[in-house]
Chain A
Amino acid sequence: GAVVSQHPSRVICKSGTSVKIECRSLDFQATTMFWYRQFPKQSLMLMATSNEGSKATYEQGVEKDKFLINHASLTLSTLTVTSAHPEDSSFYICSASSANYGYTFGSGTRLTVV
């Protein structure tokens, strides 16, 4: 089956620093990767969509300069939270999609900015 690996699972960083989250599709090539943010007891909110080798498409209200997305290969996408602040603390989840496997989600990253 399709497996997506997301790292780290938890990260604590100081306010003003940057944090990188990796998302890898382990056994399939993902044509598109999606990045979500989830607040406690809420649904997943799509932040951006990225296709390999192209610039990411951000949802309305998501700051592209703050949430940098790189999708350099068909198996790896990264989300970098730049100049993180406490309000960026959240649960971030990636999803990789392909025609054969639909949408497969990573295990999520709990970001805490102190």
Chain B
Amino acid sequence: GENVEQHPSTLSVQEGDSAVIKCTYSDSASNYFPWYKQELGKGPQLIIDIRSNVGEKKDQRIAVTLNKTAKHFSLHITETQPEDSAVYFCAASRLTGGGNKLTFGTGTQLKVEL
């Protein structure tokens, strides 16, 4: 089955700096890679996703890059703000929805300091 590794487990940045979180996956058939933000006591919220036919996707301060050959993908947050502080999870799946389960990374606790 799929195995997703995520690094770092904790990340502390100064407000305004960039944050990068990296994930690797093992199943070459995986083709959907979402990123979730989870605040304490809440469910995960999708912040950005990328499919295997695209190498990069950007949404305002958030971007995701995908290297299919190396089987790794990264989350980039620019101009970080205190409200970005949360736990971030990467995930991988073979298809977009339709019953295929997501495999999650172990999570990154991001702390944005003033």
Contacts and interface: CB of A to CB of B under 8 A. Distances in A.
B105 A105 contact: no
Contact of A43 (B41, B45, B105): B105
A107 B98 contact: no
A34 B97 CA distance: 11
Contacts, number: 64
Contacts of A108: 41-43
Contact of A102 (B41, B49, B89): B49
What DSSP secondary structure best describes chain A's contact surface?
strand
Interface in B2-59: 32, 34, 36, 41-46, 49
A43 B42 contact: no
B22 to A, nearest CB: 16
Contacts of A103: 34, 46, 93, 97, 102
Given A32-B98, A43-B105, A6 B43 contact: yes
Interface string A70-111: 000000000000000000000101010111111111111010
B105 to A, nearest CB: 7
Interface in A9-57: 31-32, 34, 41-44, 46, 49, 51
Contact of A97 (B42, B45, B97): B97
Interface of A: 6, 31-32, 34, 41-44, 46, 49, 51, 91, 93, 95, 97-108, 110
Interface of B: 32, 34, 36, 41-46, 49, 89, 93, 96-102, 104-107, 109
28 contacts: A31-B97, A31-B99, A32-B98, A42-B107, A43-B89, A43-B104, A43-B105, A44-B89, A49-B101, A51-B99, A91-B41, A93-B43, A97-B97, A97-B100, A98-B97, A98-B98, A99-B97, A100-B97, A102-B46, A102-B49, A102-B96, A103-B34, A103-B93, A103-B97, A105-B36, A105-B44, A107-B43, A108-B43
